[in-house]
């Protein structure tokens, strides 16, 4: 049976008073795979077909590495330096002994108690991240192209700050005014129907769908027409055979993020739309994590 390295060094690899602070290392895919071998063959939290692998020069959003993209991805990976040599040059592999923190973090990615799968798509690109928590430690892996990854680990008390980094918008993204209120509650059926109407070119029926409420019609329309990105976090408790799942969804509109929070059930299902900032992501996740832990 494969043994996966799961030690406290994932939380604090460095010695001294700053050991619990986040540590981050950039790794190519071959380097990451080699370190996973050192971690007892720990499985990585993704399938290569599911991570972004688009050509950044083409500026496409959300394409899977199929066909030409897959071939380009494979060529790019094949052109990288030998992972053992590059890790040695960077001090992450010394006398065939890998960096303890990096190996511990990869082990934690493979056997957590709580798991977050995160997808962020903005007009200029797409990123995927995997956050895993266990016994006071958090390990995080992220990529925008499926070739270069950021591996990070820290004590769980620093997790909120690391989550905020996920939602930070690109510096070259220009924000504008928005017609979406900073706070709005509407029936889910209305939000869904307006979205379908806008997608099929039937904007003329929005007033009818909102029962003549001009303010609601304008807000619901803007929620769909202004959409320029999304953030989705799938949270799960995976420590035992009982898996509980929760979701946090944000939508990027003209002036920034809006959290989409469902309330109620059945015919009474409502959607609360509220303006949020990157630093709010941990608080948005808190009730979801409470539910999946229950």
pLDDT, tens only, 95-148: 999 998 899 899 999 989 999 999 999 977 899 999 999 988 899 999 998 899
Residue 177 falls within a domain, yes or no?
no
Residue 123 falls within a domain, yes or no?
no
Cα–Cα distance list, 4 to 26, 243, 256, 293 (Å) = 22, 21, 41, 24
pLDDT for the residue numbered 13: 42
Same domain, 287 and 248: yes
Which pLDDT tens digit goes with each residue over 53-64?
544 333 333 333
pLDDT for the residue numbered 67: 45
Same domain, 154 and 51: yes
Tokens representing residue 133 in the block: 């928590």
Residue 15 falls within a domain, yes or no?
yes
- Model pTM score: 0.86
pLDDT for the residue numbered 94: 95
Same domain, 203 and 282: yes
Where would I find the H helices in the chain? 29-38, 68-78, 83-89, 100-110, 159-166, 188-199, 206-209, 214-225, 281-293
Same domain, 146 and 227: no
Same domain, 188 and 278: yes
Residue 228 falls within a domain, yes or no?
yes
Same domain, 149 and 13: yes
pLDDT for the residue numbered 228: 93
Residue 132 falls within a domain, yes or no?
no
Mean pLDDT of the chain: 85
Q: What is the pLDDT along the chain (294 residues), one digit of tens a residue?
A: 445 444 444 444 433 344 577 899 999 999 999 999 999 899 999 887 666 654 433 333 333 344 457 777 778 877 788 999 999 999 999 999 999 889 989 999 998 999 999 999 997 789 999 999 998 889 999 999 889 999 999 988 899 999 999 999 998 899 999 999 999 999 999 999 998 998 899 988 999 999 989 999 999 999 999 999 999 999 999 876 667 899 999 999 999 999 999 988 777 899 999 999 999 999 999 999 999 988
Q: How many domains does the chain have?
A: 2
Same domain, 160 and 14: yes
pLDDT for the residue numbered 60: 30
Same domain, 30 and 153: yes
Sheet order of strands, 183-187 included: 23-28, 148-155, 137-143, 125-134, 114-122, 229-237, 244-253, 256-263, 270-276, 183-187
pLDDT for the residue numbered 65: 40
Same domain, 34 and 145: yes
Same domain, 16 and 160: yes
Residue 173 falls within a domain, yes or no?
no
Same domain, 191 and 286: yes
Residue 1 falls within a domain, yes or no?
no
Range of the domain at 154: 8-111+137-166
Same domain, 160 and 247: no
Residue 100 falls within a domain, yes or no?
yes
């Amino acid at each position: 049976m494969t043994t996966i390295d799961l030690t406290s060094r994932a939380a604090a690899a460095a010695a001294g008073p700053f050991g619990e602070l986040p540590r981050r290392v950039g790794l190519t895919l071959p380097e990451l795979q080699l370190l996973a071998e050192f971690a007892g063959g720990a499985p990585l939290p993704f399938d290569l077909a599911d991570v972004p692998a688009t050509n950044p020069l083409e500026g496409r959003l959300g394409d899977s590495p199929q066909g030409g993209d897959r071939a380009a991805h494979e060529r790019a990976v094949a052109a990288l330096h030998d992972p053992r040599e590059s890790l040695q040059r960077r001090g992450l592999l010394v006398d065939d002994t890998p960096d303890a923190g990096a190996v511990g973090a990869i082990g934690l990615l493979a056997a957590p108690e709580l798991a977050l799968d995160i997808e962020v798509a903005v007009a200029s690109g797409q990123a995927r991240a995997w956050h895993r928590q266990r016994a006071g430690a958090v390990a995080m892996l992220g990529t925008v192209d499926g070739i270069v990854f950021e591996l990070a680990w820290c004590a769980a008390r620093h997790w909120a700050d690391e989550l905020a980094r996920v939602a930070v918008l690109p510096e070259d993204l220009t924000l504008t005014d928005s017609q979406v209120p900073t706070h709005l509650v509407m029936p889910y059926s209305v939000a869904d129907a307006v979205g379908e109407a806008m997608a099929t070119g039937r904007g003329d029926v929005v007033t009818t769908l909102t029962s003549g409420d001009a303010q609601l019609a304008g807000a619901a329309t803007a929620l769909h027409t202004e959409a320029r990105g999304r953030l989705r976090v799938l949270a799960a408790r995976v420590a035992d055979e009982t898996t509980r799942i929760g979701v946090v969804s944000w939508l990027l509109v003209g002036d920034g993020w809006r959290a989409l929070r469902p309330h109620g059930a059945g015919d009474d299902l409502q959607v609360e739309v509220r303006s949020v900032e990157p630093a709010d992501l941990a608080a948005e996740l808190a009730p979801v994590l409470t539910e999946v832990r229950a």
